[in-house]
Each structure stands twice: as C-alpha cells, then as structure tokens.
Amino acid sequence: MGAATEDDRVRVALIGSGRMGAFHGATLAARLPNARLVTVVDPAPGAAERLAREFGVDSSTDMAAVLADDGVDAVVIAAPARFHTELVVAAAAAGKAVFCEKPMAVSLADADRAIAAAHAAGVPLQVGFNRRFAPDWAAARALLDDGTVGTPRLLRSVTRDPGGFDPGRVPADTIFLETLIHDFDTLLFLNPGVEPVEVHATADALVEPDWKDRGLLDTAVVTVTFANGSIGVAEACFQATYGYDVRGEVFGSGGMATMGDGRTSGMTFSGPAGRVTTTVRSDQELLAGAYVAELAAFAEAVRRGTEAVVTGVDARRALSIALAAAESVRTGRSVRIADPTP
Amino acid sequence: MGAATEDDRVRVALIGSGRMGAFHGATLAARLPNARLVTVVDPAPGAAERLAREFGVDSSTDMAAVLADDGVDAVVIAAPARFHTELVVAAAAAGKAVFCEKPMAVSLADADRAIAAAHAAGVPLQVGFNRRFAPDWAAARALLDDGTVGTPRLLRSVTRDPGGFDPGRVPADTIFLETLIHDFDTLLFLNPGVEPVEVHATADALVEPDWKDRGLLDTAVVTVTFANGSIGVAEACFQATYGYDVRGEVFGSGGMATMGDGRTSGMTFSGPAGRVTTTVRSDQELLAGAYVAELAAFAEAVRRGTEAVVTGVDARRALSIALAAAESVRTGRSVRIADPTP
Amino acid sequence: MGAATEDDRVRVALIGSGRMGAFHGATLAARLPNARLVTVVDPAPGAAERLAREFGVDSSTDMAAVLADDGVDAVVIAAPARFHTELVVAAAAAGKAVFCEKPMAVSLADADRAIAAAHAAGVPLQVGFNRRFAPDWAAARALLDDGTVGTPRLLRSVTRDPGGFDPGRVPADTIFLETLIHDFDTLLFLNPGVEPVEVHATADALVEPDWKDRGLLDTAVVTVTFANGSIGVAEACFQATYGYDVRGEVFGSGGMATMGDGRTSGMTFSGPAGRVTTTVRSDQELLAGAYVAELAAFAEAVRRGTEAVVTGVDARRALSIALAAAESVRTGRSVRIADPTP
Amino acid sequence: MGAATEDDRVRVALIGSGRMGAFHGATLAARLPNARLVTVVDPAPGAAERLAREFGVDSSTDMAAVLADDGVDAVVIAAPARFHTELVVAAAAAGKAVFCEKPMAVSLADADRAIAAAHAAGVPLQVGFNRRFAPDWAAARALLDDGTVGTPRLLRSVTRDPGGFDPGRVPADTIFLETLIHDFDTLLFLNPGVEPVEVHATADALVEPDWKDRGLLDTAVVTVTFANGSIGVAEACFQATYGYDVRGEVFGSGGMATMGDGRTSGMTFSGPAGRVTTTVRSDQELLAGAYVAELAAFAEAVRRGTEAVVTGVDARRALSIALAAAESVRTGRSVRIADPTP
C-alpha cells in the first residue's frame, strides 16, 4: 500500500544533530510530501542515535558510509558552520544533492570550491537563506517582479535575536558571517539583478561591552550601495527583549513593500495596559513555514533535476558583502566589492 | 528502517472524496506525524480511486468492507452533510474512532443517536469545529482560561464567505446549520461552561434576492443570550468581495480579545492607492493550520485513548442554537433553548 | 486691528457649565475660526462665572436675558439632558440658532416640538451626533456616497465607556437614550436613505448586577432591521478596562469599511510583554477633532444661513430606535417602528 | 468683554507669507489659546497684505518698523531659508522672542551668531523641529525618559516627500540641510544627552538622475555613530508615490518604540484589492497637530519667560550632522564631528 509513492520521495540524510539539525529533521521526518528522512549522521557518539530514534529512522557516525549509500539521494547539512564547505564538497563528490545551512563558506575561496564541486558533480546545491521562502518576503518579491514596486531606491533588512547567547562561544565576525548574511541575501533578493558595489559598516559591543576587546560585535549597521545607485541598510543586534525580530522594506519608484509581522497570532488583547499583541520568540517560530518551504523546494529541485532556487552563487554574493562589512569595521572606511559574482 | 514508528501512527480511512475530502486527505497523507492515510472510500465509482492515486494509497467503493478492516483505526468523514449521522453511527458501531466534518447532525434526535453510538462503542468522536484550533482563537481561549479576559459580557463571531455559491444547490437553513454552526460553536468556546438560553435571529436574501421565496437566506444576524446574562452575536453572509472573513471578539470584565487577521501575509504595499494588504480567499487558506491541528489532535486522542477535544455533545450544543435561530426567523420571535446539553 | 473679522464670527452663548459645557466652551473660546464664545449661562449661582472667567468672557444666571441679547447669534446647549427640549424651544423662539447636545428629546412628542420650534423660527437646529464628524466615519460615509461599499448588508456600531459611572445617578433607559443613541444615529448615517423598520434588544446589568432591579441596564445588544433587508447591530457596555471604545463597520455588496482606531498615537512599544499600543480613555480624547468639527460646521451653517448637517429630524429617527429598543427589552419581543421620519 | 484675557496672549508678527507662512499664520490667527497674530510682514509688495486680509490682521513690508513695534512680543520666521539667520539676529536684537523655521542656519558660524544674539538679548529662541511635538514621537521620548526603552542601541528616522519638487529650484545639499535636518534632530531627540561623534553618508540622484551633475541629490542614507556606541540611520527620498512618509524607531536595551502612522484616518476598506488604508499626502496633514503644538509651546515659553523647548543649540547640533553628511558624500569617507555642542 502506497509503496509506489514512497519511491518517488527524495531520500535525505541529515548531517548534524544540534538545534538546527533537530528542527530540519522534524520537517524531513513528517512534514514534506516530496522528501523523507532516511538517516541522521553525526560523528559524536550517541548524538545522531538519540535524534534518529525520535524520528524512527537510522543513524550513523560514519559520514563516508552514508555518502556511499545508494539509498541516499540528498544531504541536508546542519553541522557547525566551520565544517560546511568540506561537507558540501564531499557530498557533491559523492553525487548527492546538497542543502547547506548558511553560511556555506566563510571565505570566497571556500565559496568557489563549494560551487565548483556542485558544478562538477552536476548536483543541485541550495543554501539555507530561509527568508526568500517566508510569505512576506516572497510576496514583496512578486511585487518587484511584476513591476509594482518599480526600481528599488532604498532597502532595509533587520535581524534582531532574542538574546541569551553565550559570548564565549560566538566567533568574531559572527554578526556579519552568520547573522547579517541573511540580511545581505535579503537585500540582494529585493534588488534583483543588481550588483552591490560598496559597503560601509559600523558596529559595536553594546549588549556585552566586556567582550568588545575580544572582537565580539553584537550590534551593527551596514550600508550597501548598489550599481544602480540604490542604497540598502542591513542592521542587526544580538538581543531584543521582545523576541525575534526580522523585518524588511523595499522602497522603489512605484511604492514600498514592508515585510515582517512578528506576531504569534492575529489575536489582540485590549486591557488596562492598552492593546497587546504577543510576539514571536525564535526564528523557528517566525519562519516555521519558510523552513518547511525551503526544504520542499530543495526536494522538488532534486526530483525534477532543476537548479536550486537559492544557489552557491547566491551564497557567495552575500558573503562578499559580509567580508566587506567586517573589513569596513576594521579599517573605518568604505570597502569596494570587486566582483561579487565572478 | 523506521518500521517501529509507522506502527505507532493512527491508520485512517477517509470517507468522501469531494472538496473537503481532498483537503483532509492531503493532510492525512503527508503532514501529520501521528496519523497516516490508508484508504479513501467513496460509493461513487472512480471518485475515491482518483484521489487515492494522488496520495499513493488504496481506495474502495465498499464502506462496509472498509469498516470491517482491522487495518483501519479511525475514519475521517467528509461526505455530504446529509449522510454524516449515519456514517458516524456505522463507524462507531464498527469500533472505529470517528472524526466527522460539521454538521454532525441536523436534528437533535440525530445528534443524540451519534453521541450514543460513540458512547456505546467507547470510541472518540470529534467534530470539525476548526476555529478552536486556529491560533487566534486558541490564544483568546487561553486568556479566558487564565482569567485575563474576566467574565464574558459581549461576544461576536462573524463568517463571511467569498461568494460564488450556486443558490440552486444550497438547502434551506444552510446559513444556520452549515455556516453559522461554526459561529455558534465559537460563541460557546469563548464563553466556557455557560449555557445558551435564548436565541433571536434576523435573516434575509440580500445576495440572491430572487431565491428568497425558495427559502434561501444568505445574510443573517443571530443574538444568543447566555445563562450568565452575557450576549453573543453571530453574523454571516454568503458573499464578501474581499475574501473569506472569519473574525471573533470576546469582551469581558477584564478586557477584550479580538481574533481574525485575514491577511495572506504580513507584507504591506504602500502605493498611490494608499496602504494595501491582500486578504485570504478561502477557508482552506485562512484556516490551513487549524485543519492540520484538528486532525493531529484527533489522532492523538485515538493514540492515547482519551476523549476528543471537540465532542458530539459540543456539536449538539451548537446545533441547538442553529435550530432555534431557524425557528426564530420563521416565527419572528425569540426562541428559548430548552436543554442544550441533556 | 482685526475688528472687521470678529464681526464675521458667530457669537455663541454656551448654556450649561458642566463637563460637556467646559469642553465645548474651550473649543468655542479658542479653536474655531468662524465662531467665538461671548457668554456662559447657568442658573446655578457661580457655576457659569467660574467657567467664563477661564475663557475671559461674560457669564450669566439669567437665561431669558441672554436669549434676548442681540449680541448673541447662537446657543450651544450642554445642560442636563432633561432640560434639552425646553431650551431648544426657547432659544429657537428667541431667534437663536441652536446646537443641542444629544439627546435632543426623550419622547417623540418632545422631538416634534423641538423640530417645529426651529422650523417656525427659521433657525438652524443641529444635534451633537459627533461621530459623523470623526475622520473614520466621515471617510466611510464617503465610500458609501461614491458607491465603493455598495448596498449595505450588515452594519455594526459599538460604544463602550471606560466605566467609573455612579449607578445611583444613571436614569433607567440611559443606555438606549444617551449612549446607544449615538450608535443608532451611526447605523442610520451608514445606511443613507434607508428607514429602520424593526428593532430587537437584549440587555442586562452585568457591570452592576445589584442595580438591575432598579432598572439600570449597563450592557445591551440591539438589532435593527432596515427597509432594504440590511441588518444593523448596535452594542454598548458601561465599562471597558482598556478605555473608551467606539467602533463601526459597514459591510456592503462592494466591500467593508471599518472604523474606530482607539489608539492614543501611532507609537507602538515592543517589549517583554509583546507589542503594546496605548488606548484612549475618554470620548473627549477619541473624538477631540470631531467635537471641534461639529461646532465649526454649526457655525458655518449659521453664517451661511444653510440647514444644519445633523438635524432635529435626524435626532428623532435615532430616538425612534432607542424607544423601540427599550420597549423590546421590556416586552421580550421585536418592535416595529411605525414612522421614524414623519 | 474678554479684554483682560487678550492682554495675556502673546502678540506675534509673522515674517514670510509663502506656503509655511500661510500655514503658521492660520494657526496663529485662530487656533491658539495663548497667542494671536497681529501682523504679517513680507518685503514683497502685496504678499503680506493678501495673507493678512485673510486673517483680518495688519500687514507690512517694513521689517524694521515691525521689529520696533511695542505691540509685537514675538516673531515667527517663515521666510526663505537663506534669510533665517539674519532675521533671528535682528529680531533678537529688537528684544523679540523668536520662533524660526528650520534650518536656523546653514553654517556653524551662523548658528553661533543666532544663538549668541538670542542669548545676549535674553529672549527665547525656538526652532521648528516639529516632530518633537508629534504625538508618536513625544510618546516614544516619554518611554525613553521613564526608562522603558532602556539605553538606545539602534535608531532610525525616515523622511520621504510625496514628490513634485522642481529640481531647478532645489539648492545643492538641500537633502541634508532642509530635509534630513529633521531626522538628525529626531535621532538626537531619541538619544537624549548623547553626542554624535561620526557620520557616514551615501546619496544619489535617483528620482531626477539628470540633475546629479548639478549637485542635486534626492535620495540619501546617513549613518550617525554616537558617543555611547549607539548607531542611528537617517534616510530620505524626495519622491514617494504613497504620500508623505515620516517614521522613526528607537531600539534599546529595554525594547523598541516605533513611530509614524501615516494613515489619513483609522478607516480601512476591504474590497476586491484586499485591505486598503489611505495615506497622508503632505507634512501639513501628517503633522497638523505638531505644528499647532510647537507654536503653543513657544507662546507658553514667551508668556512664562522660560527657555524654549527646542533651542538654537539643538539646531546647531542637527546642523553639525548635516554638514558632516554633505562632506561625507563629497569625500566618500566618514567624517568626525568635532564639537556638536560648543
């Protein structure tokens, strides 16, 4: 019963069993019509096993064996960021389609390696820029594509985390490479076909001032000038008392689209304190649908043999802004972007 | 691989392959971690087969055979409304857990038969009052349960359909028995533990005036007075140019909760016409999450052997208001509700 | 300097020096380009004097003398409700233009007397139905007048007071004659040219249950059926924890207009409790602009010799609904309105 | 009648009879309880006369005579920007209290001269930074003053004009000196007691690209770094299809306040295009109340002999950011602010 259908679904190995691994795993295990989780891989003994048991699938500590398994069509990489590029290269070399959480790479050379590996293997490579799949952002992009917004003039993308981070575990430049990388991609997504040409950044340690001398920046504003003169502002902070705050704005010759309604629901309570709406506490809550949609889109690209909708080249473009922003903070000067899409 | 888990999932037969059947079938086929669709049943030759093929499951035109199948734990009834009660009784008698789309019954005697059948068989019986599972409504109920809203004084529930109905196919009293039944349940849900005592209704054929003499009412306002003096207003119309509009309000001694944000997304476009937000066009769009959540809750009740969260008795209470409303329109007088929960 | 201009402005005597008198007086004293306050009249010794001193104008305890004064063009009546009709009749007889706070009358006979007096004297008579001048309501009416809303099908008008009333000082039927009278006028305003034909009301004492046996009702829902089949709901309660709540909705064949944004400002604070907007506490805060606009419109009618924009006949129509609602509560039955506009 | 009160009101001469002169004149003529317009001055023959006639006051083409008039307590300067500083100096020297439209000066030397003149004469000097008086902004500042917002980390101020400007009549640097000057003041207002230390600006001619080589910039983003590490972004564009758009945001350790609800009213229409709210078209519409409130506050400072609430020093601080922004665009580098408040 139903066997024919199951054959159709993309068989996915999940790499990594941390917070994002568990989240993507739950989606792959039960929420997608076109993909199914077959195994969880993590080199740490016991980690993959615990998660796999929850989903009722296999587990492994042996990456090579999983990549060699013909019963696996694709991998979803949710390992720590520093392993991302190597995992992309290895999985592509093994002929697996690759979905990689951001950042795909933290240097342009690594980005180029990852892109080349996927290209050489002829496999789809998709990067986890989830906002492109969030309804607000997709709707804004549709108004750009149909001409309603006109030519973009001013853009904005904001990310504020609810906080609770451990400053001792956050690498330097994280705010650019792991947080604002989403916003840089968003600015590019909302300014389709236009290259970024110059970046200026200001940043400080305002949440955890004691960590500033160790290089931890937790608050930043980055201005990106584009080839057509339009100007984007990306802004982040690692602590917001009201929850996870992701918003965007694109203002063009035809009008403005605004995105990001961080309410937990449409219910509003009016009481002695006024009108109160509760707000979301986490990215997984705010972007729940987007996380599902990006994996569904990835599985569809695998099934149909088409290019992924957010590619390694997209990751490289966002990375080129992130690296320029970090340099701008170090030098106090604007930084030109030589070649975002070589 | 994963065999153990599948055994855990509730095996569901879908009864009915129309619009709601297709919708519930898609949820059961791929979106629930605790249930799975095993077969689709429809007496019309070919109908179940077409839908079942899409989901990769079995199909049947033989209801008796499906109800006799040990491989089926539960049924989801999405057949035409006039068959609902008989199907509930038959499925319960066969020992299957029952989820029945509203209305479970269109007479109090039928409601009692359905309730008695489930009771005698010791199976869960859940009715498809989806709003209880919509985030806004659930959040409002939470504020009632924790005392924030205080004692309800005024309540409101609105349903407006986007239109496009065929007046020749809408039975008389549909606005009360099939549309406002949701709103009556909502009023009861937002006034927990309080019985309705009197109903007054006004209704007319304003969308399709030519059909009034055939008994089709398309616009109605129903006032429900509760035992504690609180007053609820339920209101419906079969045509709204802006889409599907479901809203609620409960105003109590502590404050007011409002529900129903019918936007397709949080994206707003500001242009020459002002600020524009697109609105949802269908119940399946507005209540997508609620439809999934109600089936997940049903499956959970089946797995745990607990009572369903929306029962046959709840269906009977809403029905008692609907019947009183229809009578009020016919007589032009207020109608007492003798015994909503016998 | 400027003497010529002052001659142009309508010279107004304010009758009554209570809460509404002080409020209208401040508007007349300093905020209107086309009217100016010349005197305050109150039979209570000292009352008018105190208020007049604040505005730098004359005061009097002698109504007859003020009405005989050629230096007074118009009166604004803000005395207790039970004196309204007599004051309208006397002022009209003296040839003064009349602005009368609602209710202009509490019986149809009194309403007819007031209308006849203004008619016989050929003076403008305007009633204080302020919502017609509030921007939201005026904007909705504009969309009715230009056809955007289409033919009204369902209407709603809500008034909830912030509370703090002294039940011992509230006459019976106040909720219909003084509070909901605004909502009845609003329903008529949003259903232009259509007569109300039947009224059904439900009411109770939910805020002050101990006062119910003395006839004080503090919570009410009134359904008004119109000649074209459209149905209006007016709803009121004397206590809302979140402030003064006045909202409206008109739903027609072309779409829906909603009114009533009771925020003190567009500032929103997002903090640990979620998103919070403060709400207005009083009618004078919510409708500040409307109170100014209605007096400016009255003065303009006086200066130009045109009919007032809200007339004694409008007051009579709203009153006919209020009286029917009170009767409906007493009898438990729907009440026909014989002739709202004789 | 009322003579005593009139003596109390501040007697104001309006200098300038253009668009802003007419607007301020209407406020002074009829909307303020504590000030009154006595004369309009404009050197252009006939200009002052036409406006004065409308308000029923005197007019003059002789500035010296008006400044020498003992019947004038204060001046409101609404002349072209290039005359502002000289007019402030002359009026202060004549012992008149001074309200000056922004910009008070376009060089720091001029700003210092204006401040010194008011100081030497001991007269109040207020600058027309109207947003401080707009309800949203005042409410946000109150949450800063009471500690709710905490220490500011990220700030934003946006101004977008509805367009229709004549590029041939806009001086170079107007976007910084006349438009963004409001936003710079807003950033300072929302970051009380903290000095700006560095400015980076990006700007272009995106609305009127042909005018770029003549120095006209119509779109700009300015980043301001403050002494406490907080970062402000000011952003402007000379053309927005949806009307006049002024918004602000202050995000601090305690939460975030957002300002700027550019709706014409709280009325929303839901129709086939979705949900539509109309938006304001002009600064005079959006900030109507703020324009009245700033003049009332000025008159109150004059009457009580207290310092103005927005001073010449405030104007100098905003100017120091504007000049740095213009320099940053010219040099492509960040610019330090030596001493914003000498």
Residue B85, min C-alpha distance to chain A (Å): 30
Tell whether the model's pLDDT for residue D149 goes beyond 80. Answer: yes
Dump strand ranges (E) for D116-230: 125-127, 152-160, 196-204, 219-226
ipTM metric: 0.94
Mean per-residue pLDDT over chain D, rounded: 94
Of C270, C271, C277, Cβ closest to residue A275? C277
Confidence (pLDDT) at B7: 56
Token pair of D321 as six digits: 């950011």
Confidence (pLDDT) at B284: 87
A97: nearest Cα among A78, A117, A74: A74
Q: Residues 6 or more apart from C257 whose CB is under 8 A from it?
A: C139, C140, C143, C144, C149, C249, C250, D267, D268, D269, D270
| Interchain proximity A143–B269, CB inside 8 Å | yes
Percentage with pLDDT > 70 across chain B: 97
B278 contact D CB<8A: yes
Query: Rounded CA gap, C322 and B328, in Å?
Result: 22
A306 contact C CB<8A: no
Binned at pLDDT 50, 70 and 90, residue C5 comes out as very low
Tell whether the model's pLDDT for residue A339 goes beyond 80. Answer: no
A109 contact C CB<8A: no
Mean per-residue pLDDT over chain B, rounded: 94
B147 contact C CB<8A: no
CATH number given to A3-130+292-309: 3.40.50.720
The superfamily (CATH) of domain B3-130+292-310 is NAD(P)-binding Rossmann-like Domain (3.40.50.720)
Token pair of C32 as six digits: 């209107």
Query: Rounded CA gap, D236 and D180, in Å?
Result: 7
CATH 3.40.50.720 fits C3-130+292-311, yes or no: yes
Binned at pLDDT 50, 70 and 90, residue A7 comes out as low
B247 contact C CB<8A: no
Binned at pLDDT 50, 70 and 90, residue D342 comes out as low
| Interchain proximity D258–C268, CB inside 8 Å | yes
B103-119: pLDDT as tens digits: 999 999 999 999 999 99
Confidence (pLDDT) at A57: 95
Of C240, C272, C278, Cβ closest to residue A274? C278
3-class SS letters over chain B: CCHHHHHHCEEEEEECCCHHHHHHHHHHHHCCCCEEEEEEECCCCCHHHHHHHHHCCEEECCHHHHHHCCCCCEEEECCCHHHHHHHHHHHHHCCCEEEECCCCCCCHHHHHHHHHHHHHHCCCEEECCHHHHCHHHHHHHHHHHCCCCCCEEEEEEEEECCCCCCHHHCCCCHHHHHHHHHHHHHHHHCCCCCCEEEEEEEEECCCCHHHHHHCCCCEEEEEEEECCCCEEEEEEECCCCCCCEEEEEEEECCCEEEECCCECCCCEEEECCEEEECECCCHHHHCHHHHHHHHHHHHHHHHHCCCCCCCHHHHHHHHHHHHHHHHHHHHCCCEECCCCCC
Q: Taking the CA of residue B298 as centre, how many other CA atoms within 13 Å lie in the half-sphere pointing to its CB?
A: 38
Residue C327, min C-alpha distance to chain A (Å): 33
Of C240, C270, C276, Cβ closest to residue A275? C276
Give the fold, CATH level 3, of A131-282+317-336: Dihydrodipicolinate Reductase; domain 2 (3.30.360)
**Contact between residue B47 and residue B36 where contact means Cβ atoms under 8 Å apart:** no
Q: Taking the CA of residue A110 as centre, how many other CA atoms within 13 Å lie in the half-sphere pointing to its CB?
A: 18
C288-312: pLDDT as tens digits: 999 999 999 999 999 999 999 999 9
User: Which residues does chain A have within 8 Å of residue C243's beta carbon, measured at their own beta carbons?
Assistant: 274
**Peptide bond before C152: cis, by omega within 30 degrees of 0?**
no
Give the fold, CATH level 3, of C131-286+317-336: Dihydrodipicolinate Reductase; domain 2 (3.30.360)
**Contact between residue B21 and residue B100 where contact means Cβ atoms under 8 Å apart:** no
Query: Rounded CA gap, C232 and C242, in Å?
Result: 25
Dump strand ranges (E) for chain D: 10-15, 35-41, 58-60, 74-77, 97-100, 125-127, 152-160, 196-204, 219-226, 231-237, 245-252, 256-259, 268-271, 274-277, 335-336
Confidence (pLDDT) at C172: 84
C114: nearest Cα among C308, C293, C295: C308
Of D275, D278, D279, Cβ closest to residue B277? D275
Mean per-residue pLDDT over chain C, rounded: 94
Residue B164, min C-alpha distance to chain D (Å): 14
B233 contact C CB<8A: yes
D255 contact C CB<8A: yes
Q: Chains B, D: CB contacts under 8 A, how many?
A: 49
B141-186: pLDDT as tens digits: 999 999 999 999 999 999 999 988 888 888 889 999 999 999 999 9
Model-level pTM? 0.94
Least confident of A167-171, B13-17, C56-60: A167-171
Confidence (pLDDT) at C165: 84
C47-101: pLDDT as tens digits: 999 999 999 999 999 999 999 999 999 999 999 999 999 999 999 999 999 999 9
CATH class of B131-283+317-336: alpha beta
Q: Taking the CA of residue D153 as centre, how many other CA atoms within 13 Å lie in the half-sphere pointing to its CB?
A: 28
Binned at pLDDT 50, 70 and 90, residue A186 comes out as very high
B181-235: pLDDT as tens digits: 999 999 999 999 999 999 999 999 999 999 998 889 999 999 999 999 999 999 9
Chain A interface, mutation test: which of B34, B258, B269, B279, most A Cβ atoms within 10 Å? B269
Chains touching C, CB cut-off 8 Å, 3+ pairs? A, B, D
Confidence (pLDDT) at B342: 62
Identify the residue whose tokens are 């309105």: C337
Query: Rounded CA gap, D31 and D35, in Å?
Result: 9
The 8-class DSSP code of residue D238 comes to S
Tell whether the model's pLDDT for residue D3 goes beyond 60. Answer: no
The superfamily (CATH) of domain D3-129+292-311 is NAD(P)-binding Rossmann-like Domain (3.40.50.720)
Alpha helices for D97-166 (secondary structure H): 108-121, 135-145
User: Which residues does chain D have within 8 Å of residue A222's beta carbon, measured at their own beta carbons?
Assistant: none
Q: Rounded mean pLDDT of A249-261? A: 97
D148 contact C CB<8A: yes
A278 contact D CB<8A: no
**Contact between residue D102 and residue D127 where contact means Cβ atoms under 8 Å apart:** yes
Q: Rounded mean pLDDT of B61-86? A: 97
A187: helix, coil or strand?
helix
C215 contact B CB<8A: no
Residue C1, min C-alpha distance to chain B (Å): 44
Sequence spans of domains, chain B: 3-130+292-310, 131-283+317-336
The 8-class DSSP code of residue C263 comes to B
B241 contact A CB<8A: no
User: Which residues does chain A have within 8 Å of residue D198's beta carbon, measured at their own beta carbons?
Assistant: 202
**Contact between residue A195 and residue A341 where contact means Cβ atoms under 8 Å apart:** yes
User: Which residues does chain C have within 8 Å of residue A245's beta carbon, measured at their own beta carbons?
Assistant: 270
Residue D164 buriedness (CB in 10 A; 0-12 / 13-18 / 19+): exposed
Confidence (pLDDT) at D73: 98
Chain C interface, mutation test: which of B251, B278, B333, most C Cβ atoms within 10 Å? B251
User: Which residues does chain A have within 8 Å of residue B259's beta carbon, measured at their own beta carbons?
Assistant: 266-267
B6 contact A CB<8A: yes
User: Which residues does chain D have within 8 Å of residue C12's beta carbon, measured at their own beta carbons?
Assistant: none
Query: Rounded CA gap, A188 and A157, in Å?
Result: 10
Chain B interface, mutation test: which of D237, D242, D261, D280, most B Cβ atoms within 10 Å? D242
Q: Rounded mean pLDDT of D33-48? A: 93
B211 contact C CB<8A: no
Binned at pLDDT 50, 70 and 90, residue C3 comes out as very low
Q: Rounded mean pLDDT of A3-28? A: 85
Q: Give the other-Cβ count within 10 Å of C101's Cβ.
A: 23
Tell whether the model's pLDDT for residue D5 goes beyond 50. Answer: no
A273 contact B CB<8A: no
Chains touching A, CB cut-off 8 Å, 3+ pairs? B, C, D
B270 contact A CB<8A: yes
